[in-house]
Each structure stands twice: as structure tokens, then as C-alpha cells.
Amino acid sequence: MHKLLSNEIKVSAYLNLAADFTHNFTDGLAIGASFLVSPAVGTVTTVTILLHEVPHEIGDFAILVQSGCTKKKAMCLQLLTALGAMAGTACSLLAEGVGAAATAWILPFTAGGFVYIATVTVLPELLSGRSSFGQSLMEILALLLGVGMMVLIAEYE
């Protein structure tokens, strides 16, 4: 383990790894809790998170490589952060034994976190004026489409 986390890489890589582990943990919470609701909701959540994670993990890989990691070390570190998703899923599934009150907060918490991250990431860029009007409009529409999809899923589950 010490060999993976040597002093050769920049501090930004460590920060990225901590953030990625936490992010993956909340993804795991959402996956586990959604399977507790129903297999259909769990499958939709898993596929959605998978589609979201592929470009996210590629970006994290690039950050690690730019921070001084070799490609092999970056892949191994990314694999370690993926354990966060497994831990989050396990926590959600184990919370079922505690009772419905414990699982009732997990999906709203993770959904709210996803909306918060999207708005914190997208809105400052839109307000900076660096994006064209068309690009800003497309990003706002994509955000609204995502919120609309969450409403539809909640309505028909």
C-alpha cells in the first residue's frame, strides 16, 4: 500500500482520491438503497450511475496521471477508490436490518447530493460568461431533463 501512495505524486492527486472515494461511497449508498426499494429501481439506478461513472473515472485517471502517477499506479488507485462504492452499497443493504427509517433517508440524501453537485458544478460556469448562449442553454436543459427524469421515476415507482 505504501508503494501506491508514495511522495512522487502531487497533493491534488491525494485530494482527488479522497473525493473520488467519498463520491463512490454515495453512489454505493444510492445503489443499495434503490435495490431495497425494488429490483427495477435498483437496476435503473445502477445503469444510470454506471453511465455517469465511466467519463468521471476517465477524468480522475487523467488527473492522477497529470499529478505524477504512472498509468499502472493510477489504475490501481482508481480500483482502491472503487471500494468506496462497495462499502456504500454494503452500508445501505445492512441498514435494511435496522428498519425502514434508516433506509428512508438514503435515497433522498444521495439524490439531493447529486443535484447539489450538478448545480455547484454547472451554475458557476454558466454565470461566468465564458460559455456561449447556446452552450449555456444546452447545459440548463440537460440539468432540467435530469431533474425531470428523477421526478418521473419517483412518480411511477
pTM to 2 decimals?
0.67
Amino acid 82: pLDDT: 92
pLDDT band at 38 (very low <50, low <70, confident <90, very high): confident
- Residues 63-91: what's their mean pLDDT? 91
- pLDDT (tens digit per residue) in 82-94: 999 999 999 888 8
- Phi/psi of residue 105, nearest 5 degrees: -90, -15
CA–CA dist 33, 36 (Å, integer): 5
- pLDDT (tens digit per residue) in 109-121: 777 776 776 677 6
Q: Is the pLDDT of residue 18 over 60?
A: yes
Q: Is the pLDDT of residue 52 over 80?
A: yes
* Domain residue ranges in the chain: 11-156
CA–CA dist 4, 152 (Å, integer): 44
Amino acid 81: pLDDT: 92
